[in-house]
Amino acid sequence: MTKSIRKFLLLVLFLFPARAFCEPAAIILSFTGSVDFRAAKDAEWKNAVKGAQIPDSGSVRTGKESRAALFFKNNTTVWLKENTTLEIQSKNIIDNTISLNTGSIKVRVPHLRFREKFSIRSRTALAAVRGTIFTADANESGDLSSLNVLFGEVKLDIDNKKSSLISQGNGFADGKVLLLSRESELMGLEDWSPATQDSERRAILKDNENKRNEIRQFAVQTNAAEREVAAGRDQIKEEDFAAGRTLTDVHGNLVRVDQRLDRPDNKTIQVINVVKRTSYSSGGLRQYAYNGTSSARFDSLIAKVTFNSALPDQINQFPGFFQQNDKTLKLDNAELIVANTTEDGSVFTIGFFGKRNPNSNSDDINSDLYVGTLSADATQTGQKKLFNLKLNSDLSVTGLTHFTEDTTIKSIESPDSTSGELYHYNANRWVDAANVNSKIWLTSENFVINNSGKIRNISDFTNGSSDFESLLKNSAGEVAIFAKQDVNNSPSNIDATNFLGGNATKKNIDLVIIPDLILSVIKSLATSGDALKTAY
């Protein structure tokens, strides 16, 4: 059987010798510009024509601004850039070698069958490939100056001494194997076809890049949207609750009130109530005189309590937590700060600061009064200082004067209302802790108003037809607070300046406080009844 096959092959070679040995090694697939070819080393150069056949030992050269593409029998394509010369050495269909004398080529060897060979030779190097796309450059001396492997691998022999296997994504230059630079990669991947305009060679790459950018952009937008949702979620957790309302105060000023409940840390709960007015009329005051300006103003309240242990993240877990830890949970610090924060550099502030004696098991917190005007310095504005106020270990508060309650004199209270009007005033005298001769009166006028600024009557709550929630949504408290000088053991109309940080600018603090935040908390607790029963 083997002998029969051998005889058959010999017969084929005998009958078709020209077919076996005269096949062209390659054909010129396309070209542009000045391209020549010759059939042998010593043959004349001829102008290239499309489809011209290049036999073994034939050569092709491209001139300035010229390109060509060759196609080999084994389906290999070779693209030549300008000023490139190569010679084809084709022993047979399965063994092809290209000698790159000078210039740049891109080679695509799609697939080789068993024993098939394809190699690129320069004066000093031999690159053997199979299933590879790569580019090669040779200088004018015929030395391989660079080789970039785009896909597959190349076995490279330099001077018949050193052999390197260069895999895709890597290249050879300056005697070393290196990772391809992005530019080398793009240069290799671009369209080398002679017919393609130079400006269009990277069109597909750019299109791909644009598509990737679109995907990246989509990812960025999706991320941004997710971050927004996450930020909203975090804000809800951080703030727990927020509320706001626009109404008219007792003086007839348009007021915007914003409230929020914050958790500065896991032991602390803080409520901030901010009141903004575009102008200020004090016509609603009945007892204590306002001597300041009528321009736009900004009043704030900060109430902060700090416990001795961490509180649950969710406010609706508070009742269970407090119930379970009622023996050990204690209030460490309590602060109530009110301020006229209209001016950055002059924040008239009144605060009550107290802390529990950590060595006692008592729940009592004794607080004192601290009054002053917070001014701006090189590092902080007065407003920023307001949020950083804290009770020091020596019972001082930086920037404010410490007062203790004067127990030698009765506080002043408004007489009980006979009409049921929800209005009340009061005054208490306080003594400078550092100077017993310096005394001030802390006075306030307190109103319960509706959203139109009309003072509420107790009957609105006891006899009204509105439901409780609607009533509260249409109600607010207003408190106007003053620090007045002590004249003849009574609060005078003059604003107190007889202490460090005195109220020389004649400011008062006029706060409108809405019950909306508390209402939100109550509703939240009411709708999570299980939390009230379940231990934390």
Partner 1 sequence: MRAEDNQFQSFAIQQAGQLLANPPMFIYEFQRNMESTNPLPPGKCAGLNYHFLGGIIIVPLPDITSAANISLKLRLHPEGRLYPGLPQVDVVGGYWKSFLASMIEDKNAKDTDTDTKITKADLHGMFCGLTMASSLEPRVRLFWGYKYSNLNIDINLNKTQDILGSKVNSFNGRFNEHTFSAGMEHTYGQDKRWIIEGGYGVMNNLLSTKVSWYLKYVEVGLNIYPESVFIMQPELNFHYNF
Shortest distance, CB of residue 201 to partner 1, whole angstroms? 17
- Bridge partners of residue 30, in order along the sequence: 69
Given candidates 39, 173, 177, 519, which one binds partner 1 under the rule CB under 8 A?
Answer: 177
Given candidates 63, 131, 232, 244, which one binds partner 1 under the rule CB under 8 A?
Answer: 131
Parallel, antiparallel, or unpaired: how do β-strands 95-109 and 117-121 relate? parallel
Shortest distance, CB of residue 75 to partner 1, whole angstroms? 9
Q: Rounded to whole angstroms, how far apart are CA atoms 103 and 82?
A: 7
Residue 400 tokens, joined: 């404010």
Residue 475 tokens, joined: 């109600």
SS3 category, 393: coil
Residue 479 tokens, joined: 């408190």
Angle (nearest 5°) at CA 260 between 343 and 265: 100
Q: Rounded to whole angstroms, how far apart are CA atoms 285 and 414?
A: 13
Shortest distance, CB of residue 120 to partner 1, whole angstroms? 17
Sign of CA dihedral 487, 489, 491, 497: positive
Closest to partner 1 by CB, 170 or 498: 170
Stretch that binds partner 1, among 29-37, 170-178, 354-362, 392-400 (CB under 8 A): 170-178
Q: Is 175 in the site for partner 1 (CB under 8 A)?
A: no
Q: Could you tell me how many residues make up the chain? A: 536
Shortest distance, CB of residue 166 to partner 1, whole angstroms? 8
Shortest distance, CB of residue 151 to partner 1, whole angstroms? 5
- Bridge partners of residue 525, in order along the sequence: none
- Measured in whole angstroms, how far is the alpha carbon of residue 512 from the centre of its chain? 36
Q: Rounded to whole angstroms, how far apart are CA atoms 136 and 129?
A: 12
Q: Is 152 in the site for partner 1 (CB under 8 A)?
A: yes
Given candidates 12, 165, 225, 458, which one binds partner 1 under the rule CB under 8 A?
Answer: 165
Q: Is 146 in the site for partner 1 (CB under 8 A)?
A: no
- Enter the DSSP assignment of 279: S
Binding flags for partner 1, 85-124, as an x/- string (CB under 8 A): -------------------------xxx------------
Given candidates 50, 179, 360, 462, which one binds partner 1 under the rule CB under 8 A?
Answer: 179
Stretch that binds partner 1, among 185-193, 269-277, 451-459, 466-474 (CB under 8 A): 185-193
Closest to partner 1 by CB, 102 or 135: 135
DSSP line for 290-334: --S--S-EEEEEEEEEEESSPPPSSGGGHHHHHHHTTTT--EEEE
Given candidates 25, 35, 150, 311, which one binds partner 1 under the rule CB under 8 A?
Answer: 150
531 with 316: CB under 8 angstroms?
A: yes
| Phi (first) and psi of residue 310, to 5 degrees | -70, 140
Q: Is 204 in the site for partner 1 (CB under 8 A)?
A: no
Q: Is 166 in the site for partner 1 (CB under 8 A)?
A: yes
Q: Is 145 in the site for partner 1 (CB under 8 A)?
A: no
Closest to partner 1 by CB, 186 or 518: 186
Stretch that binds partner 1, among 175-183, 263-271, 343-351, 450-458 (CB under 8 A): 175-183
Given candidates 39, 94, 173, 178, which one binds partner 1 under the rule CB under 8 A?
Answer: 178
For the chain, the straight-line distance linking the first and the last C-alpha, in angstroms and rounded, comes to: 91
Parallel, antiparallel, or unpaired: how do β-strands 423-432 and 435-450 relate? antiparallel
Closest to partner 1 by CB, 185 or 238: 185
409 with 429: CB under 8 angstroms?
A: yes
Q: Is 83 in the site for partner 1 (CB under 8 A)?
A: no
Size of the site for partner 1 (CB under 8 A): 24
Closest to partner 1 by CB, 164 or 497: 164
Structure-derived torsion over alpha carbons of residues 394, 304, 263, 510, reported in degrees to the nearest 10:
-130
Stretch that binds partner 1, among 15-23, 77-85, 125-133, 261-269 (CB under 8 A): 125-133
Q: Is 188 in the site for partner 1 (CB under 8 A)?
A: yes
Closest CA to 264 of 292, 297, 302, 295: 302
83 with 102: CB under 8 angstroms?
A: yes
Given candidates 68, 147, 180, 339, which one binds partner 1 under the rule CB under 8 A?
Answer: 180
From the CB of residue 437, how many other CB atoms can be counted at a distance below 10 Å?
Answer: 7
**Which residue type, as a one-letter code, is found at position 396?**
S
Q: Which residues in 307-326 contact partner 1 (CB under 8 A)? A: none
Residue 105 tokens, joined: 């080529």
Shortest distance, CB of residue 310 to partner 1, whole angstroms? 10
Q: Rounded to whole angstroms, how far apart are CA atoms 163 and 128?
A: 11
Q: Rounded to whole angstroms, how far apart are CA atoms 155 and 147?
A: 11
Given candidates 32, 53, 168, 524, which one binds partner 1 under the rule CB under 8 A?
Answer: 168
Shortest distance, CB of residue 114 to partner 1, whole angstroms? 10
Residue 85 tokens, joined: 């010369």
Given candidates 73, 117, 130, 256, which one binds partner 1 under the rule CB under 8 A?
Answer: 130
Binding site residues, partner 1, CB under 8 A: 110-112, 130-132, 149-153, 165-170, 177-180, 185, 188-189
